[in-house]
Every structure is written in C-alpha cells, then in structure tokens.
C-alpha cells in the first residue's frame, strides 16, 4: 500500500514514462535524497527504456497495481492530458503527493475533482508549471509586488510556432489532449503572465479558433516538424482569445501550432500598467523616471535555459515535500488557469461569444 514516509528520502513513482517523464527522471535521479522506485506505462518500449536507465525500479502496465504494491511518497503523472485526472486522484487516495504535468487536466470539472481529492487526502498536488520559476518571471512578479507597474491594465500572451504541429504523441487529438496550442503551449505563457499580474480572478472570456493546416497532409511544405497525423487532427491550429479579470484588467492570448509569422517560434508576454509595463523576453520594465521614459533591464539573471527552469520545478517539488519548502504552484492558481482554458474553449464552441469563467 502506498503511504507517506517521514524521512529525508523521497520514494517516487511515475505514471507515464514518455518524453517528459524521461527528463523528469534524469533530474529526480540526480538528487541524493530521491529514490526512483517504479514506473507505469502502457507502452512496453517506454518501460524498457526507463528500466535500462534505472534497473532498480519496478515496472508496471497498470498504475493501480503500482499504487497497491509499492511504498511511494510521491507520484509524477506524465501521461497525455486525458489521463491526468484519474491517475492523480488514485495516487492521492493512495496517500501519495502528486506532481502532475501541465495542463492540470482537460476540463475544469476534472481539475476540481483533483483539487478536492488532494484536500481530502491531505496531500500536496502540484501542477508542473515550471515557468513561474523562470528568473525572468520571478523578477517581473517581484517588480509587480513592489508596485512597479501600478495597476496592471492589460496583458498580451503569445505562444506561436510558424510550423510546429506536433508529429509525436496525441497533441492533435482533442479527446486525448483537450485542445491544441492554447492548452499545450499557450498554457505555459498564460500561467506565467497571470502569475506576474498577481493571479487575479478571471470573470469572462472569449475566443476564436481556426484549423486549416493540421488537418492536411504535412508533406506539401518543407518543414522541420513534418509527419503529423492529419487524419486524427481535430484541434485548433490558431487561437486568439480575451480574458477579463475582476480587477478590471484584460489579457489577450494568441497561440498557434502553425501561424504565418516571421519567427519560427514566439513565446512571450507583455504587461501594461498605470505606472509601468514589462516585456518578458528580453526582460525589460518600461517606466517613467526622473522626468523621462526609461527601459530597465536586470544586469544579471540566473540560468533561463529550458533545462535549468525545468529542473528547478523538480527541486522545488522535492524540497516542498521533504523539507516543507514553499509550494511553487498553489492548487488554487492552477484551478484559475484551468478555468480560463475551459472558458476559452467554451467560447470558441459558441462562435466567440463572451462566456463567464466558472471556478
Ligand atoms: N512541462 C513541460 O514543459 C512539458 C513539455 C512536454 C510535455 N508536457 C506534458 O507532459 C505530458 C506527457 O507528454 P509527453 O511529451 O511526455 O508525451 P509522450 O507521448 O512522450 O508520453 C506519454 C506516455 O504516457 C503513456 N500513457 C498513456 N496513457 C497511459 C496510462 N493510462 N497509464 C500509463 N501510461 C500511459 C504513453 O504510453 C506514453 O509513453 C502531457 O500532459 C504534456 O502536456 C510538459
């Protein structure tokens, strides 16, 4: 029976042993206070690969069996979005803390059930949003707290690829992923912009979504990410949305797997407030000082590479669970993000009509 143990080692199990799990495993295994105990996956090749790297770990094809047979403190859920909610709830009920990959879930209803299960089990549920631990985000959030922007009035979020329709996994299938670029890549930037704005309460949202390339064979135009499964592709290629918050702020979101833009990929956000504004990359605060308009940049930032930021979330999770460190992503924040995602998809289904954000 899985249970929590009071000691300074963390016994970790994985549900889902694909690409992102592999990255997580490398970081978890590099810590002297973590034991990788067991992995579950439906795919034997994924399991064999994990076992080759971590021969002491047990392998399973059914996560319920793993939770029953192994003594685990924590479980990392790294399955496709469709399989975030049930394994997370089962692991929490088995007494484990859970790190669940982003997005939290496919729907707000699933997210709420996960949060309730964590509260009932008195276990931590952390959604693996690494970008709020990015030094650029930390700097801008601290500047927000110190009043650098005054009242944040407007935010603009962009997560766009010129030709980046995933040719692996199930990211093109709505039934397994919940949607396309908004829920897959947009969620990262939405989450960190929302955090930098002080995590305001969303009240309404509207969105329009378009599908025009992913549902066609990929070979027509030369592209570094050809070979997507156009026959099963039923998510958006491009989405534009608008979210209003209870403090009067407004946020625009632009996301694409395939947009005709100059850049190969674009991941950024801007904030505009009554006293100042900000750009995430390059990291600049735009404000007025000494009677002039000035742009301020940090003279030094810690490592902002994907790997460094990704690894920071694993450290943060282990330190939260083992040493009572702070929670990087409170579940209430993750639920707010999930409520925005659900409202954006809801609005798109209603031809862009503004809908209430439910929480
Ligand atoms: N934080 C990040 O930057 C980041 C980056 C990429 C992916 N992700 C997230 O990680 C998750 C997984 O993505 P991925 O790229 O690793 O996908 P993947 O397809 O490489 O891996 C998913 C694995 O889950 C397994 N699986 C599916 N259903 C299962 C089940 N019921 N029980 C056990 N295993 C099951 C699959 O066989 C596969 O091996 C997604 O939710 C994705 O959004 C996060």
Q: Tokens 């952390």 correspond to what residue?
A: 126
Helices (H) and strands (E) in the chain, counts: 11, 15
Predicted pLDDT at 219: 84
Contact of 36 with 25, CB cutoff 8 Å: yes
**Which token pair is 330?**
């409170």
The answer to whether residue 72 is domain-embedded is yes
94 is in which domain, residue-wise?
Answer: 10-128
Please tell me whether residues 18 and 166 are part of one structural domain. no
Domain boundary among 128, 162, 182: 128
- Hey, which of 14, 101, 111 would you mutate to test ligand 1's pocket, going by the most ligand atoms within 8 Å of its Cβ? 101
pLDDT band at 7 (very low <50, low <70, confident <90, very high): low
Q: Is the pLDDT of residue 4 over 80?
A: no
Largest CA distance in the chain: 67
* Per-residue tokens: 255: 């996301």
pLDDT number for residue 3: 47
Does residue 188 lie within any of the structural domains? yes
Indicate whether 110 belongs to any domain.
yes
Provide mean pLDDT across the span 167-186: 96
Please state the pTM of the whole predicted model. 0.96
Give the position, in ligand 1's atom list, of the atom nearest the Cα of 15: 33
**Given 128, 149, 178, which residue is the final one in a domain?**
128
Q: Averaged over 259-267, what is the pLDDT?
A: 95
Number of domains composing the chain: 2
pLDDT in tens, 300-354: 999 999 999 999 999 999 999 999 999 999 999 999 999 999 999 999 999 999 9
Q: Find the 73 Cα to ligand 1 centroid distance in Å.
A: 21
Confidence of residue 6 (pLDDT cuts 50, 70, 90): low
Residue list, ligand 1 pocket, CB within 6 Å: 15-21, 40-43, 46, 63, 78-81, 83, 101-102, 128, 130, 169, 184
In a domain, 320, yes or no: no
Same domain, 168 and 287: yes
């Amino acid at each position: 029976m899985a249970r929590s143990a009071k000691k300074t080692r963390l016994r970790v199990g994985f549900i889902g042993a694909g690409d992102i799990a592999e990255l997580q495993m490398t970081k978890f295994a590099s810590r002297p206070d973590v034991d990788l105990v067991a992995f579950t996956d439906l795919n034997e090749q994924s399991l064999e690969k994990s076992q080759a790297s971590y021969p002491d770990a047990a392998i399973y094809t059914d996560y319920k069996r793993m939770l029953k047979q192994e003594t685990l403190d924590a479980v990392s859920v790294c399955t496709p979005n469709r399989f975030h909610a049930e394994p997370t709830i089962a692991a929490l009920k088995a007494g484990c803390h859970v790190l669940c990959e982003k997005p939290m879930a496919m729907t707000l209803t699933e997210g709420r059930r996960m949060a309730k299960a964590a509260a009932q089990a008195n276990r931590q549920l952390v959604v693996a949003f690494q970008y709020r631990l990015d030094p650029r985000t930390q700097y801008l959030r601290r500047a927000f707290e110190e009043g650098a922007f005054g009242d944040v009035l407007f935010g603009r979020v962009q997560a766009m690829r010129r030709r980046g329709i995933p040719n692996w996994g199930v990211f093109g299938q709505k039934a397994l992923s919940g949607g396309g670029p908004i829920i897959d890549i947009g969620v990262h930037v939405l989450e960190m912009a929302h955090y930098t704005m002080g995590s305001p309460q969303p009240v309404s949202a509207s969105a329009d979504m378009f599908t025009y390339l992913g549902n066609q064979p990929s070979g027509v135009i030369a592209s570094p990410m050809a070979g997507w499964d156009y026959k099963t592709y039923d998510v958006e290629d491009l989405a534009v949305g608008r979210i209003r918050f209870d403090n009067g702020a407004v946020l625009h979101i632009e996301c694409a797997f395939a947009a005709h833009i100059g850049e190969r990929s674009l991941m950024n956000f801007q904030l505009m407030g009554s006293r100042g504004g900000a750009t995430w990359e390059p990291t600049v605060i735009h404000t007025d000082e000494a009677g002039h308009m000035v742009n301020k940049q940090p003279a030094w930032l810690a490592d902002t590479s994907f790997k460094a930021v990704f690894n920071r979330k694993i450290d943060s999770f282990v330190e939260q669970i083992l040493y009572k460190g702070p929670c990087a992503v409170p579940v209430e924040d993750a639920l707010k993000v999930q409520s925005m995602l659900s409202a954006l998809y809801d609005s798109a289904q209603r031809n862009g009509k503004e809908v209430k954000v439910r929480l």
